[in-house]
Amino acid sequence: MSTNRTLTRRAEEMFALIERYNSSGLNRKVFCARNGIAYSTFQWWRHQYRHREKTSAARVSPINDFVPIHLTPPHRHDAFASACRIEYPNGVVISFREVNVKVLADLTALRAE
């Protein structure tokens, strides 16, 4: 496959076909039969389409997409907090029953060297 980022006309046609398949609700074999395409050809183009989607998503995602973390020391005298809850902007939540705040701070600290 060419490393050229522009699509050939055939690739554009096949990717459009893959997108039609994605919204069709049909299984692959039925879709291929109805559209007169060999199943193996469809599978090859579907793989190409998925690979292109992955690589273009990786290019779009910024490398420095970090969210700042602010740590509050525990009120207890030891180094363990009774709980830790991390909430991401997309709604994912990670909870720990006990966490060593110093270790968490060391893991999350950005050190310029």
Q: 5-9, 20-24, 81-85: which range is least confident on average?
A: 81-85
Report in angstroms the alpha-carbon separations of 41 from 14, 35, 76, 88, 105.
Answer: 10, 12, 64, 41, 52
**Residue pointed to by tokens 């009120």:** 75
Return the closest-CA partner of residue 43 out of 34, 30, 32, 55.
32
Cα gap 40→46, rounded to integer Å? 10
Record the tokens describing residue 25, joined without a space. Answer: 């609700």
pLDDT in tens, 45-102: 999 998 888 877 655 555 556 666 665 655 555 555 566 777 766 777 777 777 776 7
Mean pLDDT of 9-37: 93
**pLDDT number for residue 74:** 55
- Provide the pLDDT confidence category of residue 1 given band limits of 50, 70 and 90: very low
Return the closest-CA partner of residue 87 out of 113, 69, 112.
69
**pLDDT number for residue 5:** 57
Burial of 37 (0-12, 13-18, 19+ CB in 10 A): middle
Cα gap 39→70, rounded to integer Å? 53
Maximum Cα–Cα distance across the chain: 72
**pLDDT number for residue 85:** 72
Cα gap 79→25, rounded to integer Å? 54
pLDDT in tens, 24-51: 999 999 999 999 999 999 999 999 998 8
